[in-house]
Amino acid sequence: LPILLSCWIMSYVYKGVERVIPKVLQDVFVPFLTILVMLPITLCLVAPLGTWLGQFICDFVLSLGSLGGIGTILSMALIGAFWQYIVMSGMHWIFITTIITILATGEVDALIFPACTASSFSIGGMCLGAFLALRGTEDKAKAMSCVIAQMIGGVTEPGLYGVGFQYKKPLAGMMAGGFCGALYAGITGVVCTNLVPVASFLVFLSFTGASAMNLVNEIIAAAIAFVVAAVVTFVLMKSGQKKKEA
C-alpha cells in the first residue's frame, strides 16, 4: 500500500512540476524535482499511513474469523473471491506472517489459508478456461503455460497478469471460482495446521495433521474453485467472441 499510494500521489506531483518547468529542461528537472518533493512526503506521511492501513485491513479480515457460523463462512468466501487483488497490493505478506504467528502458538488457521488456497487454484481454472476459449495457437500456448505455472510451479502471477488482466473477462471467472471453493472450505470447516506457502499441489501439505477429511475437503474446495473458474471463464470469453462476430 505505501508504494501504491506513493505512485498515485506522485502522478499529480509529476504533472504539477511538468507545468512549471520549461519544455527544454523537463527531461532533466521534472524527474529530479518530482523525487525531491516525494521523498519527504513518502517517508514521513505515505509510508506510515500505508503500513497502518494495511495492518488495519489485515486485523479486520482476521477478526471476521471470530464471528462464527455463517459470518465466518461468508467471510472466507469473500476472501477467496478477492485474494488475488490482495496479492497484487502486496498485503498478502502481512496475512502470511500473521498465519505463521498463529501456527507458532499451536493454534490453527480456519479463515485465511483455506480460502486463499482455493483462490490460487481458481487462477489455474481461469487459465484453462481461457485456453479452451482462445483460438490463436500462441495465445492458447500462453494460457496453458499459466495453468502449468500455477499447478506445478506454484506461481499465480503469470496467469493473473498474462491472462486475467489481458482479457479482463477471465477475472470474473477467477473470482467466481475463488468464492465457490472458499465457500465449500468454510462450510466443511477446513483448517490449516502448518504452512507450505506455495500455490501448487504441494500446498495441500498445509492441511495434513488434522483429520483425514480436512485434507480431502480442501482438495475438493480447490477442485471446485478450479472447475467453476474454468467454466465461467470459458462461457464469458465465448459469449464475447460471438458478440464480436455478430
Q: Hey, what amino acid is at 201?
A: F
The whole-angstrom separation of Cα 85 and Cα 159 is 13
Q: How many CB atoms lie within 10 A of CB 117?
A: 30
Q: What is the pLDDT of residue 244?
A: 67
Gyration radius of the chain over CA positions: 21
Nine-digit cell string for 156: 499465480
The whole-angstrom separation of Cα 103 and Cα 99 is 6
The whole-angstrom separation of Cα 77 and Cα 172 is 14
Burial class (CB in 10 A: 0-12, 13-18, 19+), 132: middle
Q: What is the pLDDT of residue 239?
A: 85
Q: List Cα–Cα distances, 201 to 133, 190, 224, 240, in angstroms.
A: 25, 17, 14, 32
What are the φ/ψ torsions at residue 136 (nearest 5 degrees)?
A: -65, 140
Q: Confirm if 56 and 169 have CB atoms less than 8 A apart.
A: no
Kindly give the confidence (pLDDT) of every residue in the chain, 246 residues in length, as a single tens digit, with 9 standing for 90 and above: 778 788 889 999 999 998 988 888 888 888 889 999 999 988 888 888 887 887 777 777 767 766 777 888 888 898 999 999 888 877 777 788 888 888 888 888 888 899 999 999 999 999 999 999 998 888 899 999 999 999 998 889 899 999 999 898 999 999 999 999 999 999 999 999 988 878 888 999 999 888 889 999 999 999 999 999 999 999 999 887 766 665
Q: Please report, to the nearest 10 degrees, the dihedral formed by the alpha carbons of residues 118, 121, 126, 130 taken in order.
A: -170
Total residue length of the chain = 246
Nearest to 222 by CA among 240, 243, 203: 203
Nearest to 192 by CA among 226, 155, 224, 217: 217
How many angstroms from the chain centroid is the CA of residue 192?
18
Q: Confirm if 199 and 192 have CB atoms less than 8 A apart.
A: no
Sign, Cα dihedral of 177, 180, 183, 185: negative
- Whole-prediction pTM: 0.78
Q: Confirm if 232 and 173 have CB atoms less than 8 A apart.
A: yes
